[in-house]
Amino acid sequence: MGLGRMVHGRVAALALVGVLAASCASMTDRADKDLTSGPKTLTADEIRTILAGKSWRFQGPNNTGVTLYAEDGSSLVEVDGKGRTKGRWTTKDGQLCESFDPAPPWLPGGVPMSCYSFSPGTTPGTYQAGKAVFSLAT
């Protein structure tokens, strides 16, 4: 075997090692990234920080209005065209949980504690809470 063939063979082998190393690094990069296409799951503390002490306008399939989420877990809700009620709220990872006191005639039995998904909305500064969209009340 001539010197030219040996040098050419070693260069080819080194090139192959380089290609394999690059492809392994690329696979590691992809494995480290979150490839899910869904919204980020917020922790209970993140949701609490977002909501607590602020009034949020909600727009759902059946109602619109404003909810004040107090730091102590109480809430005051005003539903457009219907009236006001008080409630309680808490958070779980990825969820907002709320209950509402009776408010005759539009909410005669109240609503027991119910939890639904809570995630960043499609527009900056908004959040999706179940079927409702939340934005800071002005």
Return d(Cα 7, Cα 9) in angstroms, integer: 5
Alpha helices in the chain (DSSP H): 3-32, 44-51
Model confidence at 10: pLDDT above 90: no
Return d(Cα 47, Cα 81) in angstroms, integer: 28
* Residue 36, pLDDT score: 52
* Residue 40, pLDDT score: 76
Specify the pairing of strand 95-100 against strand 126-129: unpaired
* Residue 47, pLDDT score: 98
